[in-house]
Amino acid sequence: MQHFGKVAVLMGGFSSEREISLISGKAILEALQSRGVDAHAFDPAETELSELKTQNFDMAFNILHGTYGEDGTVQGALEALGIPYTGCGVLASALGMDKYRCKLIWSALGLPVPPFEVLHDDSDFAAVEQKLGLPLFIKPAAEGSSVGVVKIKQAGELAQQYAQLRDMGLHGVILAEQFMSGGEYTCGVFNSKALPSIRIIPQTEFYDYEAKYLRDDTVYLCPSDLSSEDERTMQHLAQEAFAAIGGGNTLGRIDFLKDSAGCLYILEANTLPGMTSHSLIPKSALQIGISFADLCIAVLQNAQDERR
């Protein structure tokens, strides 16, 4: 595996998802090293990114979650440095990080997204509650790992929660989104092909940060409980949604909701999926015989092929 040269595993960084990135990065580093790759940890919060050139790195395996690492910023810097990197490029990363603009693109293409409203200081919050119904969700458009996501269950609560989120200084506009009661799903995409879907059954109120990373009682059904027809539909939608934002042949994940009538809706894109013991893409890949280490090697090989 020495044909990859010296590989930097970019982990940590500056975002609210730093700790998760470090966990993902450690797992990837160990996997690459187990296959003979000359891989090294590299944390941009501790070392200037320009050191990648000074230290003669040939490639970067990017697992910097959240802002700076997942929003096109570090991708642009790596492009300027001339260092091939894993994952989506500048445009797809920037779009994928912004849930609002993803929804605009998908809606324009006729893809199903849950009804939503953009909130402002002068919004008629009571009208939004009435239009979308209760419960509903409120979230910042450009944060990951469910940071800032709140479930609104009581009438009159939306205005207060909006003000709290606004004052937290989170990234992106603040969205209110209709609640879907039929279940949470996700579907990975790699090399323009969809992976098996996963049904997510959290034991918390919803699939929040705690359920994603800290608890061991979240249930993941893979293969999921979808019918063969719905599985094909979800995989097709995942491929379309990822391609629409410029995902290309890289690794990504599209999250879905199902309503009480069984209809599927595209929730959001993840252009830099987590790679921890709790993460979804490794679970899905394993269903088709791809081990964690094999997946890491395949992602690295894809980056090398794409940038050659």
| Residues marked as catalytic | 17, 145, 213, 253, 255, 268, 270, 274
SS (H, E, C) the chain: CHHHCEEEEECCCCCCCHHHHHHHHHHHHHHHHHCCCEEEEECCCCCCCCHHHHCCCCEEEECCCCCCCCCCHHHHHHHHHCCCECCCCHHHHHHHHCHHHHHHHHHHCCCCCCCEEEECCCCCHHHHHHHHCCCEEEEECCCCCCCCCEEECCCCCHHHHHHHHHHCCCCCCEEEEECCCCCEEEEEEECCEECCCEEEECCCCCCCHHHHHHCCCCEEECCCCCCHHHHHHHHHHHHHHHHHCCCCCCCEEEEEEECCCCCEEEEEEECCCCCCCCCHHHHHHHHCCCCHHHHHHHHHHHHHHHHC
Cα–Cα dist 128/138, whole Å = 11
